[in-house]
Amino acid sequence: MMSQNFSNNLLEIRDLSIDFNTDEGLVRAVDNLNLSIRPGEVMGLVGESGSGKSITAKSIMRLAPGNAIIQHPSQITLNHRDQAVNVLKLRGRDLRLVRGDAVSMIFQEPMASFAPAIRISDQIIQTMQIHLGYDKDQARRAGIELFDRVGIVDPARRFDQYVFELSGGMRQRAMIAMALSTQPKLLIADEPTTALDVTIQAQVLDLMMELREQLGMAMLFITHDLGVVSKIADNVTVMKQGKIVEAGTADQVLFQPQHSYTKRLLDALPHLENLPEAPTHKPKPLLSVKDLSISYPQAGKGRKTEHFTAVNNISLDLPEGQIIGLVGESGSGKTSLGKAMLGAAPISSGHVEYHNTKKKVKFGAGKAIKRKRLARTAQLVFQDPYSSLNPRMTVRDIIAEPLEAMKLTKSREETDARVIEVAKRCHIEVAHLRRFPHAFSGGQRQRISIARALVCNPKFIVADESVAALDVSIQAEILKLLKELKDELGLTILFISHDLSVIANLCDWVCVMKHGELVEQGTVRQIFLAPQETYTQTLIASIPLLESAENRSCGSPELLHIAERPVSSMQSEWV
């Protein structure tokens, strides 16, 4: 199983071919892939959703799903404790020791990666005890320190919570802390910053680079964000349909691309030039939010129940037929505000009122509304497609469910016709409608979620991080689709996102939230070219744009506190 005199590479993948056993037969997901990573190297692995990036990464840890078949003569060899380990032949205890000890992974969907019925602290403490030999108190201190370093506010309290009690961005930060807790020699990061706002993303990237220097840790960094790749990667590998189409240094691939596919990915990047002009007239509002506050109960000391204010006294008009961007850091109250507009969050005070509807719709504190009344007018595209899609339903049934629940079609034939129409608009192949959600990549699942929201022709859509899981080219297609829907149908969209470059290229109006309050709002040009608030200026300064290796910096001191922090007791144990 092991041999001496391994090459200087930490990881070598040779002739890797992976097939999936599906109802349609074997489907080739990875085709004769060759890849190597040196100790301390950061390898960026990019490509569209479904190109084979994630299954390649999971195969390194032997986490490929049961219907995946790794074909002969595939080889994955890892340098572990100066010995060559044939990963594909590992079994039992040897495999468990390599996982976490030598290789750790940040998964794309943290909600599906943590045990929901076990506190996060117990899961991380147990991992540290197994792989680092810490006692419980040592592991607890180290875990809380990691939570602090990945930007989780009130880390000691959050450390003892369950994963469902955290926001999407906080879950991802907890997942990053979990992966870093074992001090791996190779960190596989599968879209690790997708769910993070730009300032926390910058902090986490700096933390990863700092640990790379301290521990000699290598990284396989999988992402569709080429701006992030340009900031951290030494080398970049581009995949398309299971094959490597281009590889080289980061500067070569990103600034002198040779393959047409790489050029197309770069062309699809959002930019901050030529921002759209403000609308020539101010449309009437589709809905108004007045003095809205939202509080959630949480456990206090003893039996006392305390309340956390997620949204604090916000008043806002959403113009009809426009795309309104809502930005702010994770935990700022964006999702709670969006859900309140749909009658799906508890309103403590204030109200929401829809205008220009057949019947007046107004609800708020002490005056709730049945969600079904709003369903034809307003729909939600969820942040996490994995947990929002019923795993026991086919894609056809998932998209058709709103039509059937509200009896908007008179026959199965009419329903199928509408489902096919919407599926095509969202770039879902008709043949895939018979499949179940688990058969799709994260980006493909998000397109299914968008199709489900559009199927009943709503006037208003809340899109909560709806393109965060999509690669840049598919993201560009979805953003183009949203613009078309706005223009053709007069659709009003509240677009919640931490990706400010997307906001700049998509939205007509931008609202900025911080700690539950609305701190600034204005047209795209006003917010991005002349922001008034220091917080807004900080967000814009943190946007990851393409950057050459020569121009890289280790982080902006005024934004990133991590690089300035002294080495803690936990870090000294690592070093």
Nearest alpha-carbon partner for 109 in 344, 435, 391, 532: 391
* Torsion from C-alpha of 99, 103, 106, 112, nearest 10 degrees: -10
Residues 339, 259 share a domain: no
pLDDT, residue 2, reads 41
| Cα-to-chain-centroid distance, residue 40 | 25
Query: Does 229 share its domain with 366?
Result: no
For 218, list phi and psi in degrees, rounded to 5. Answer: -95, 160
Domain range enclosing 159:
39-62+91-269+568-574
Q: Domain for residue 436, yes or no?
A: yes
Residue 419 belongs to a domain: yes
In this predicted model, what pLDDT tens digit does every residue of 202-218 receive, in sequence order? Answer: 777 887 888 788 778 89
Q: What is the pLDDT of residue 556?
A: 34
The per-residue pLDDT for range 377-423, each reduced to its tens digit, is 899 988 777 778 999 999 999 999 999 988 889 999 999 999 999 99
The DSSP line for 39-106 is: TT-EEEEE--TTSSHHHHHHHHTT---TTEEEETT-EEEEEETTEEEEGGG--HHHHHHHHHHTEEEE
How confident is the model at residue 304, as a pLDDT? 65
pLDDT at position 119 over 90: yes
In a domain, 9, yes or no: no
Contact between 222 and 190 (Cβ < 8 Å): yes
Q: Are residues 378 and 242 in the same domain?
A: no
pLDDT digits (tens, 9 = 90+) for 288-329: 999 999 998 876 555 666 778 899 999 999 999 999 999 988
Amino acid identity, residue 59? S
- Judge whether 262 lies within some domain: yes
Residue 456 falls within a domain, yes or no? Answer: yes
Asked if omega into 73 is within 30° of 0 (cis), the reply is yes
Query: Binning pLDDT at 50, 70 and 90, where does residue 426 land?
Result: confident
Buried b (16+ CB within 10 A) or exposed e, 416-449: bebbeebbeebebeeebbebbbebbbbbbbbbbb
Mention every residue, 6+ apart, whose C-beta is less than 8 A from residue 414: none
Dmax over CA atoms of the chain, in Å, equals 77
Question: What's the predicted TM-score (pTM) here?
Answer: 0.71
Looking at the domain assignment, is residue 30 inside a domain? no
DSSP state at residue 367: B
The rounded mean pLDDT for the chain is 84
Task: Specify the higher pLDDT residue, 151 or 334.
Answer: 334
Q: Check the CA dihedral 397-402-403-406 and report its sign.
A: positive
CATH number of the domain that residue 265 is part of: 3.40.50.300
Rounded-to-integer distance, Cα 450 and Cα 471, Å? 15
| pLDDT confidence tier of residue 541, bands split at 50, 70 and 90 | confident
Residue 54 lies in a domain: yes
Q: What angle do CA 321, 327, 333 make, to 5 degrees?
A: 105
- Nearest CA to 218 out of 99, 63, 43 is that of 43
Residue closest to 473 by CA, chosen among 58, 169, 51: 51
Task: Please indicate, yes or no, whether residues 377 and 450 belong to a single structural domain of this protein.
Answer: yes
Render 248-270 in DSSP notation, one character per residue. EEHHHHHHS--SHHHHHHHHTS-
CA-closest candidate to residue 247, choices 104, 551, 37: 37
Q: Is residue 246 part of a domain?
A: yes
> Could you read off the pLDDT of 433-455 as tens digits, one per residue?
999 998 887 678 888 998 999 89
How many Cβ atoms are within 10 Å of 487's Cβ, its own excluded? 10
Nearest to 423 by CA among 441, 462, 404, 397: 397
For the residues 149-160, what does the mean pLDDT come to? 90
| Pick from 121, 186, 128: nearest CA to 158 | 121
- Report the number of distinct structural domains present in the chain: 2
Same domain, 50 and 178: yes
